[in-house]
Homo-oligomer: A and B are copies of this chain.
Amino acid sequence: MGSLGDFEFPQSNALLNIAGRASNDNPLDPEEFRRQGHMVIDFIADYYKNIEKYPVLSQVEPGYLKKRLPTSAPFYPESIETILGDVQDHIVPGITHWQSPNYFAYFPSSGSIAGFLGEMLATGFNVVGFNWMSSPAATELESIVMDWLGQMLRLPKSFLFSGNGGGVLQGTTCEAILCTLVAARDRTLRIIGNDNIGKLVVYCSDQTHCAFKKAAQIAGINPNNFRVIPTTLSSSFSMCPKALRNTITADVEAGLVPIFLLATVGTTSTTAVDPLGPLCDVAKDYGMWVHVDAAYAGSICICPEFRHFIDGVEGADSFSFNAHKWFFTTLDCCCLWVKDPSALTQSLSTDPEYLKNKATESKQVVDYKDWQLALSRRFRSLKLWLVLRSYGVEKLRGFLRSHVKMAKVFQGFVEADNRFEVVVPRNFANVCFRISPSTVMTKSSNGVLGEITNSNDISSPRTKTKMGMVNEVNQKLMESINGSGGIYMTHSVVGGIYLLRFAVGATLTQESHVIEAWNVVKQHAHAILNSIPTTQ
C-alpha cells in the first residue's frame, strides 16, 4: 500500500496521515476539489496515454486483490496521493482494458472525452432527478436530446415527444426490456384479470440476448411460457416470421395469451438482424407488444446507408439502443423510445404524498420516475448532449463508419487466408470467423475433408466428433490469443459452430491496431495448427 505516497506505512489504517486529515475537513471544499480533481484528470489522461502497455485482458488470478488490501476500512484518512498509488499498483492490474485500442471483445464500451465530461458534470451537480421538479433541467434536457436522437435515427414521429410518444434514458437494455415487458403484461392483465398471469406467453429467438429471459423471470412470466424460435445458419440466424406465427398459433389454440415479442437488430453472437416488418405484422395480428432491441447496432442507423436495418420499426411499440456501447457515451446510457408512454406509466407510476408537487399536478411535465424501474435517477442526458454537440452528426457518422471500414479490413484478411473462414456475413463492425474445418481436417490428416465444411448438420455422431475437433482448435486459438494479453476477443457458439468475434469499436482503435491484431491471430493459429497431432 501507499507506494506512490509521501510516506510508507506498515498498514494503511494503522497510522494517522496528517496531510489527508487537513485536506478533508470539508468534503466538498471547492479549492481542494480543484486540486484533487486536476490530479485525477492527469491520472486518467496518463492512463489513456499508456493503455497499450497493459495486457488487454487482465491476467490476475481469482482472489488477487484480497491479498493486497487490508481486511478493514481505515480508521483515519488517507491522502489522495496514497490512494492513486494504490489504484495504479493494485487496481489497474485487475482491470480488463475496455478502452484499449486492442480491445475487440464482446461489444465495445466506447468512451469519449465528451461522454466523460458529461458524466463529470452530472456527478458534480449530483441531482436526483426523479421528477421534473427535483431538477427541471434534467428532465427537459433528456426529453429534448431523445427527440434529437430519434430524429437522427429517423424513428417514426410516433416515437418522439413531438409525436405523442417519447424517449427516456435507462441504465441498460435489461431495464428497458423489463419496463416494456411489464407495460405489455399489465396492458393485457387489465383486460383478462391478474389471475391469468400464468397464461401470458412471450417470444424471442435463440439468438435473443439473455436479458430477455431474465426480464421475463423477474416479471413473473411462467418459465414454461417463454418461447424461443430456433434460427439457422442458412438464414444468418435471424428470426423467421413464419415460425413465429406457427408458435403463436399453437399457443393461442392451447388457450394461452401471447403478449410480447422481442426482435433484435444486431444480435450478440453474430449481429444478426431480425426482419422487423414481417415480425411486426405477425405480432399485430395478435395484439402483441413488439420491442426492438438494437443495443449494439442502433447507433450506426444514424448513417443513411445503414438505416434500412431498422426498416419496419414503425410497426413496433418500443425501440432501444445502448449509447454506452457504440456511441461514445460512457456506461450506463440506454436510449428507449415508446409510442405509448401511458402504457409505461400505468405500470410504473408511484404517487406518494412526499413527492406530490404542483408541477406534477399540472400535468404539464414529464416525471421520468414513472418511465423506469427505480425512483432515483442520474442526470444522464448531459453526457449524451455533450457527445452530440462535441462531435456533431457528421463526425459521429464518420467515427462509426471508420469502425465498419476497419472491420472490413479485418474481414479481407480472413478471406484472403485460406486457413480461415468468415462464418456469417458481416453486417456492422463485428467479424465472426474461425479456422476452417478443412484446415483442421487437413492438419489432422483425417482425410475426410469437405464432408463437414460449412455444414450446420450436427446430428450424426461422426460429424459431431469432427465439429468438436474444429471447435476445440478454435477455442484453443481464442484462449491462446487472450492469454497473450496483446489483444482481447471473445467467442460464441451458434448452430454448433464455435466462432471468434472480432468486434471493432473501441474509441482508440486505428487501422494499425487491426493489422497488428491480424498478425497476432495468424501467429497463434500457426502455433496451434502445428501442434495438432498428424495422426488421429
Contacts and interface: CB of A to CB of B under 8 A. Distances in A.
A268 B352 contact: yes
Contacts of A33: 41, 44-45, 48, 113, 116
- Most B CB contacts (10 A, CB to CB) among A46, A198, A364 go to A198
A375 B211 contact: yes
A351 B209 CA distance: 11
A228 interface: no
A113 B20 CA distance: 12
- Chain A at the B interface: SS class: helix
Contact of A77 (B57, B390, B491): B390
- Most B CB contacts (10 A, CB to CB) among A73, A352, A492 go to A73
A324 B220 CA distance: 30
- Chain A's interface size range is 35 or more
Contacts of A96: 127, 133-136
Given A78-B392, A222-B194, A72 B112 contact: no
B28 A113 contact: yes
Contacts of A113: 24, 27-29, 32-33, 36-37
Contacts of A133: 57-58, 96
A506 to B, nearest CB: 9
A214 B112 contact: no
A116 B94 CA distance: 22
B75 A330 contact: no
A249 to B, nearest CB: 24
Interface stretch (A118-126, A410-418, A526-534): A118-126
Contacts of A392: 13, 20, 73-78
Contacts of A362: 62
Nearest to A34: B45
B62 A365 contact: yes
Interface stretch (A147-155, A236-244, A252-260): A147-155
A27 B355 CA distance: 40
A136 to B, nearest CB: 4
Contacts of A355: 210
13 contacts: A21-B395, A27-B114, A30-B49, A66-B140, A77-B392, A82-B389, A91-B382, A94-B141, A99-B125, A106-B128, A194-B222, A214-B350, A218-B348
